A and B are shown apart, each in its own frame.
Chain A
Amino acid sequence: MNDLWQQLFILPTDQIPWWAEVFRSVIRLVIALAGGLGSVPILVWLERRLLGWFQGRLGPNRVGPFGLLQPLADALKLMMKEDIIPTNVDRTIYVMAPAIALFPVILSLTVLPWNGSREWGAVAPNIDIGILFLLAVGSIEVYGAILAGWSSNNKYSLLGGLRASSQVISYELGMGLSIVSVLLIAGTLGTQSLVMGYDLSQTGVLAPGTLLGNGQAIVSVASVGDTGYTVYEHAASSGFWDWHFLRLFPFGLIATGIYMISMIAETNRAPFDLPEAETELVAGFHTEYSSFKFAMFFMGEYANMLIVSAICVTLFFGGWLAPFGFLSQLPAVTGLYVAPGVVNFVNSFVIAPFWLFTKLYVLIGLFIAVRASFPRLRYDMLMKFGWKGMLPVALGNLVLIATSLAVQQVTFPSLGYYGAWWAGQGVAWGITLVVVGILFYGKYVQYQAKKRVARTTDLIAPIRRPTVIVPTPSAPAPEA
């Protein structure tokens, strides 16, 4: 009996049989689903209330206290609605599309860590390639929109689906490149190690043996006395200044910004919600969907919002770590007075998730504030911004990070840790300044030339100006 208990709950992952791991997985995935899909009603409520507040109105406030039960009422309503399958749809694909849209969203919950434990920290805490997993799963999220749009046999749907898929794949590039920047800085692919694996060695780049590249190495479990209380040494000694968004300033910050813009575009939310622009496309690719199938798209969108925020927090904002290390866990002394199991439990399942969710909800508040603040982009602007703005900036940022790291590596032995940091950063800053300067100078020359042309055309304009107005169907009217 005790043996069974040990196998199910206590022993490390590599010492248990597969069925015990299945048992643990089920517990963990229930936690993840409760946190992920369970957050959806809260998100919906939060968004509507916050939008109401931003726009000087009330928002839902009738059902339950502060309208908190409104999302449940909505869900119930949607479930009880008639499920319409219009004529001429491609039935199989039409029915499958919402499932295909939701499936990857749920699957991406697998590698997002909510505490530092190798046994209970995420649904799959031992995967060393968490980021690649997220990217792979994220890359198949396009299918929901394409297939829904195509199978619906509705012009709005088709256009919405096309727009959604083009937009998602365009912004996936910026997203991927900003993630590569983090990989460069951290040198690891595991999500858990990204959270904890800040390079604590005082070398800037790499000192043999001290690199903390993997969760396994970092979770240096130090027992306080003989209490069995686990202290994540790293978590306790770091703080927000160690999070990736402040590494190699400002390049970490730029990568963060690129990721955050792409994540808004990836989730098809305002101001990038072209695929669902009501004024043009009714509801985009899910125009024809009703009842719970519509709810699935809806759920997928909000869960996806949560997940991209969670990825952002994991990559850039230190995941479940507290902004000041000592807040990440109960002080070590408590291990002497309270049962170690209790302390560990509080650390892993109260404090760590608390910080994770605090950061998540701050980000989601940002999402909603962005939606309330910015007008919708025009589609050509959106594509131009993705391909001409995000992609080169992300690529340049990446090269600068690599340059900085390489220079640090070269100068480290002679200049020491801080000297190497300043040398690397100095080179990168210098290159940035030169490039930005050249670009600005080019723009300035262009602007001057344009002004000159404008002055000359003003003189001849009355004669030269064409009288026939050619309709340009491709330019969509700006949004009111």
Chain B
Amino acid sequence: MLFLLFGGSALVTGITMVLFPNPVRSALFLVLNLFCVAVLYLLLNAYFLATVQVIVYAGAIMVLFLFVIMLLNLGTPDRSLDKLRWQQPAAVGIAVVLAALFGAVIYQSVPAGPPASAMMVEAPTLYAPRAEPNPMLTNQISDPNQLRAITPDTMGTVTGIGQSLYNPGEAWLFPFEATSILLLIAVIGSVVLAKRRLPGEDASAAGEREGGTG
């Protein structure tokens, strides 16, 4: 039931996000959407992903989005000035094709058995009761052999993520280190773009352009 509630709100906020003409409101609906998706992650026992979804997407990236919207002072766009009118029907067409594809994939992967929503609701009952605590959940990992025992239940917990991400036996160590290079590129790129001097502009003029209200 919770899945239906939050999945539904995710859908609704997503659609509203697209339909709202005012960019700030669209951004706020996107934030709401991210929250709903975070709750969905929570229902799937992916605790870490849920919190990261909120911390990174809602707490950092959407703040940047809002900054950009405000920086560019975007208002409600004027439809009549829209040069790319053919975009809208094309988008609808692509959406239909995409939906059909998704439908086909889902239909193929779940040939028989309970519908997906029912599985979501039942999933938590797979949990071990408190009386016999799951070692992954309780941080009580003492036996090194247990480190590898990552079951679907514990995969999403913080310790589960930590073990699969930082364990040389798992495949994720290299991608993790590669991420840092990605982040490095992001840092350098943003600074290069933001601190760029316009041609024919010396340092002090650039300072004045960027200065102002601070």
Contact = CB atoms under 8 A, between A and B. Distances in A.
Partners in one complex: yes
Contacts of A206: 142
B36 to A, nearest CB: 14
Interface in A200-219: 206, 208-209, 211, 213-214, 216-217
B117 interface: no
Interface string B63-79: 10011001000000000
A150 B63 contact: no
A39 to B, nearest CB: 26
Interface string A340-379: 0000000000000000000000000000000000000001
Given A135-B51, A169-B60, A217-B140, A473 B158 contact: no
Contacts of A87: none
Contacts of A136: 38, 51, 54-55, 58-59
Interface stretch (A27-35, A49-57, A125-133, A224-232): A125-133
B212 A146 contact: no
B137 interface: yes
B138 A214 contact: yes
Contacts of B31: 140, 143
Nearest to A210: B142
Interface in B127-165: 129-131, 133, 137-140, 142-143, 157-158
A132 B24 contact: no
A416 interface: no
B159 to A, nearest CB: 8
A82 interface: no
Nearest to A132: B51
Interface residues of A, number: 46
B214 A474 contact: yes
Interface in B184-205: 204
A14 B212 contact: no
Contacts of A140: 31, 54, 58-59
Contact of B133 (A132, A158, A216): A216
B140 A214 contact: yes
Contact of A14 (B129, B138, B139): B129
Nearest to A150: B70
A165 interface: yes
Contacts of B133: 214, 216-217
Contacts of A147: 24, 28
A93 interface: yes
B60 A13 contact: no
A217 B59 CA distance: 33
Interface string A284-301: 000000000000000000
Contacts of A158: 70
A55 B194 CA distance: 45
A93 B69 CA distance: 15
A183 to B, nearest CB: 9
A123 interface: no
Contact of A139 (B54, B137, B142): B54
A139 B59 contact: yes
Interface in A105-132: 128-129, 132
B24 A189 contact: no
Contacts of B139: 128, 187-189, 193, 211, 213-214
A211 B146 CA distance: 15
A189 B158 contact: yes
A208 B70 CA distance: 54
Nearest to B127: A14
Contact of A90 (B24, B59, B63, B207): B24
Contact of B131 (A14, A189, A470): A14
Contacts of B28: 93, 147
A189 B48 CA distance: 11
B54 A150 contact: no
Of residues A140, A159, A208, which shows the largest number of chain B Cβ atoms within 10 Å of its Cβ? Answer: A140
Interface string A137-169: 111101100110010000000110010010001
A216 to B, nearest CB: 6
A213 B138 contact: yes
A209 B67 CA distance: 49
B113 interface: no
A133 B52 CA distance: 10
Contact of A379 (B54, B60, B204, B214): B214
A13 B31 CA distance: 33
Given A129-B48, A139-B60, A169-B60, 16 more contacts: A12-B130, A14-B129, A93-B24, A132-B158, A139-B58, A140-B54, A140-B59, A146-B66, A147-B24, A159-B213, A189-B139, A208-B142, A208-B143, A211-B140, A217-B140, A473-B208
Interface of B: 24-25, 28, 31, 38, 47-48, 51, 54-55, 58-60, 63, 66-67, 70, 129-131, 133, 137-140, 142-143, 157-158, 204, 207-208, 210-214
Interface of A: 12-14, 90, 92-93, 128-129, 132-133, 135-140, 142-143, 146-147, 150, 158-159, 162, 165, 169, 172, 187-189, 193, 206, 208-209, 211, 213-214, 216-217, 379-380, 470, 472-474, 476
11 contacts: A136-B54, A139-B55, A140-B58, A143-B66, A147-B24, A158-B70, A211-B140, A211-B142, A214-B140, A217-B140, A474-B212
- The 7 closest A-B CB pairs, nearest first, are A139-B59, A474-B211, A213-B139, A208-B142, A136-B54, A132-B51, A14-B130
